Amino acid sequence: MATVCHPASGEVTAEFAAVAKYYGVSVAVCPPRRGNRKGVVEKSNHTAAQRWWRTLPDETTVEAAQTGLDTFCRTRSDARIRPTADGRASVITAAAREPLTAPPAAPYPAILTETRQVSRQALVAWRGNQYSVPPEIAMSEVTGREALGDDHIDIATASGIVIARHRLAAPGSGAQVRDHGHVIALETLVLGPLQAVGVRIAARNESRPEKPHAPPHKHCATKSLVTPPPPMQRPR
């Protein structure tokens, strides 16, 4: 309830008031210590849970579950008789007297904000994927921001400075989204010292004079192969 209204005063919070205004609805906060009033809502949820939710098999898809819920509401839940100002009527009849307007085409532009730890590879985990940041802030905390309905994510520092923006990958796909500039900066940071060592070794080898080749040792001279003469034959 603290996300909807202030517990002390019962007034609606400014954040939730913006949501109610966007969808064109009014907020009726249930007063405290009113068990009978709250029980009406809880009983409706209990009825749906006991008579419909428990009957679903484990392999049911989301679409099939939605179809089953619509059928349950049309044949069972909405057919219940409730007292009204004019007497008694079914739930669906009372609801028809108070038609709802169509919801907005896009969801409320709420901003999801969470703190994340940057890995040693300068990557930030977000909804089953990883997004790159400058390597200078590896192993530090950043804030990820995603607005509902947008196709990108902003990554900001603790002070609120946005340091990276990426297009969102499919949630849970395990993708690594890297910016080209971040890749070059990471390679320079990692391979820079190794390249400097290689340059120093190459320069030291070039400055070393080559030694003249020594003449072969006399004991190492190659021996000529002498073919022995054929054996002498005795005269007959």
* Residue range 180-193, pLDDT digits in tens: 999 999 888 888 77
Q: Give the mean pLDDT of the chain.
A: 82
Question: Which band of pLDDT confidence, cut at 50, 70 and 90, is reported for residue 228?
Answer: low
State residue 192's pLDDT score.
74
Q: What is the pTM of this model?
A: 0.54
Higher pLDDT, 30 or 175: 175
Q: Are 124 and 144 in contact (CB under 8 A)?
A: yes
State residue 144's pLDDT score.
96
Backbone conformation region of residue 122, classed left if phi is above 0, alpha if psi is from -120 to 50, else beta:
left
In sequence order, what are the beta bridge partners of 116?
A: 142
- What domains can be seen in the chain, in order of their start residue? 14-96 (no CATH), 111-181 (2.30.30)
State residue 102's pLDDT score.
86
Angle (CA) 25 4 30, round 5°: 80
State residue 121's pLDDT score.
93
Would the pLDDT of 62 be above 60?
A: yes
Q: And the tokens for 195?
A: 């390249």
In sequence order, what are the beta bridge partners of 142?
A: 116
Would the pLDDT of 105 be above 60?
A: yes
Q: Are 80 and 92 in contact (CB under 8 A)?
A: no
For the chain, how far is it from start to end, CA to CA, in angstroms? 134
Over range 86-109, report the average pLDDT: 84
State residue 28's pLDDT score.
83
Higher pLDDT, 91 or 182: 182
Question: Which band of pLDDT confidence, cut at 50, 70 and 90, is reported for residue 116?
Answer: very high
State residue 94's pLDDT score.
83
Over range 83-103, report the average pLDDT: 83
Would the pLDDT of 75 be above 70?
A: yes
Would the pLDDT of 177 be above 90?
A: yes
